[in-house]
Amino acid sequence: MTIVKNNKIVINANNLTKSFGEIIAVNNISFEIHEGEIVGILGPNGAGKTTTLRLLTGVFKLEGNAKVEIYGLDLSKNLTKCKSKFGIVPEVSNAYSDYTVEQNLIFSGRIYGLSKEVIQARSEELLKRFELTGKRKSRTKTLSKGLKQRLNLCLALLHDPPILILDEPTSGLDPFSVKILRDQILKLKRENKTILMSTHDMIEAQTICDRILIMNRGKIIADEHPDTLRKDFNPSLTISFKIEGEISKDLMNEMQNYFTNIKIQEDDSFKITTQDVLEDLHRLYNFVRQRNLEVLDMKLKETSLEEVFINLVKSDLNGEVTKK
């Protein structure tokens, strides 16, 4: 699948490098983020994901010949103006625990220099959007993790920034809060917001991201649409199924002669690896019909993003990955 990008580049990062003593956290990486994209950064712990986000947002000073441009503005020379373009949800909440939800919004709005009227209007809109209206008078420290994270999104969006930076946005949340946040992230994309997020959640990355940057040891080892990554890694599908009743040795041999690409699993199910799923399904239908067999629990399975991720990281550790 080809990535269809808006031509407008909102983040242009070149030669990003960050060291902590002898540890190189980010190792000379470059990439672009286009307007309206949801870009996910995946990687094992210590891969450099959070450090990369902190370099992009001016939390860490750029080193060497590194350069970041936000909407064409040099981050180092226009730090305040560039920072105003971001709404940031950090790994650790930046809300004041003794403040109520409403007080946090008012305080944050004043820091952004918003008028009282704008703060009130935006707060009402965001509280409704993230289903927090009934919690406006609650102290932040009394909120569940899911509610706190929804508040963090409200704080990040209060000044209506064009770029949203999310560091593990749904980590450890209950399913209800995860659904609310994912739905809202997709809604923000429809509103032409640009979203850059680090995550360990492969389902999340595969479901909502337009592009995936996979990092390991401070380097980007893959940069593609999640579907393209999966198909490039393994374009085949698997058909798994069971046959009702006992499987005789003769039937087993017959199936293996008929399907050269079939394997039996530990749970006595069968798995056919195929690159022509319609043809193999048709052949399976003919096989079981002719022998009066009944097929149970049939499933089609594509290569998962998790499988791609694990294999790419392993290959990189073995020195076998070179990013194009």
Residues 132 and 194 in one domain: no
Residues 44 and 109 in one domain: no
Q: What is the pLDDT of residue 207?
A: 85
Residues 228 and 321 in one domain: yes
Residues 218 and 321 in one domain: yes
Task: For residues 9 and 11, give the distance between their C-alpha atoms in angstroms, rounded to a whole number.
Answer: 6
Residues 200 and 215 in one domain: yes
Question: What's the whole-model pTM score?
Answer: 0.78
Residues 273 and 133 in one domain: no
Residue-wise pLDDT tens digits, 244-300: 888 888 888 888 888 888 888 878 888 888 878 788 889 899 999 998 989 988 887
Residues 143 and 122 in one domain: yes
Residue 179 lies in a domain: yes
Residues 291 and 316 in one domain: no
Report H helices in the chain: 49-56, 79-83, 101-111, 116-129, 145-157, 175-190, 202-208, 226-233, 249-258, 277-290, 305-317
Residue 203 lies in a domain: yes
Residues 226 and 314 in one domain: yes
**Structure tokens given for 163:** 């770029």
- pLDDT: is 81 or 305 the higher one? 81
Residue-wise pLDDT tens digits, 164-223: 999 988 888 888 888 999 999 999 999 999 999 998 888 888 889 999 999 999 999 989
Task: For residues 280 and 278, give the distance between their C-alpha atoms in angstroms, rounded to a whole number.
Answer: 6
Taking every pair of C-alpha atoms in the chain, what is the biggest distance, in angstroms? 80
Q: What is the pLDDT of residue 236?
A: 67
Taking a C-beta distance cutoff of 8 angstroms, is the pair 294, 243 a contact?
A: yes
Residue 177 lies in a domain: yes
Average of per-residue pLDDT values in the chain: 89
Q: What is the pLDDT of residue 251?
A: 86
Q: What are phi and psi of 65, to 5 degrees?
A: -95, 20
Q: How confident is the model at residue 320 (pLDDT cuts 50, 70, 90)?
A: low
Residues 118 and 262 in one domain: no
Residues 33 and 64 in one domain: yes
| CA nearest neighbour of 209 among 43, 42, 321 | 42
86: enclosing H helix or E strand = strand 86-89
Of 161, 176, 206, the domain-final residue = 161
Residue-wise pLDDT tens digits, 122-140: 999 999 999 999 999 999 9
Percent residues over pLDDT 70 in the chain: 95
Residue 149 lies in a domain: yes
Range of the structural domain that residue 153 is part of? 94-161
Task: For residues 43 and 50, give the distance between their C-alpha atoms in angstroms, rounded to a whole number.
Answer: 10
Residue 1 lies in a domain: no
Distance of CA 316 to the CA centre of its chain: 20
Residue-wise pLDDT tens digits, 74-83: 999 999 999 9
Task: For residues 152 and 305, give the distance between their C-alpha atoms in angstroms, rounded to a whole number.
Answer: 28
The amino acid occupying position 129 is R
Residues 108 and 26 in one domain: no
The amino acid occupying position 299 is K
Task: For residues 77 and 62, give the distance between their C-alpha atoms in angstroms, rounded to a whole number.
Answer: 11
Residue 2 lies in a domain: no
**Total domains, the chain:** 3
**Structure tokens given for 306:** 């998790």
How many CB atoms within 10 Å of residue 191? 10
Q: What CATH number does residue 258 fall under?
A: 3.30.70
The amino acid occupying position 292 is N
Residue 322 lies in a domain: yes
Q: What CATH number does residue 62 fall under?
A: 3.40.50.300
Taking a C-beta distance cutoff of 8 angstroms, is the pair 101, 127 a contact?
A: yes
Name residue, tokens 């690159």. 275
The amino acid occupying position 34 is H
Name residue, tokens 């980010």. 26
Task: For residues 30 and 16, give the distance between their C-alpha atoms in angstroms, rounded to a whole number.
Answer: 6
Task: For residues 3 and 5, give the distance between their C-alpha atoms in angstroms, rounded to a whole number.
Answer: 6
Residue 192 lies in a domain: yes
Bridge partners of 207? none
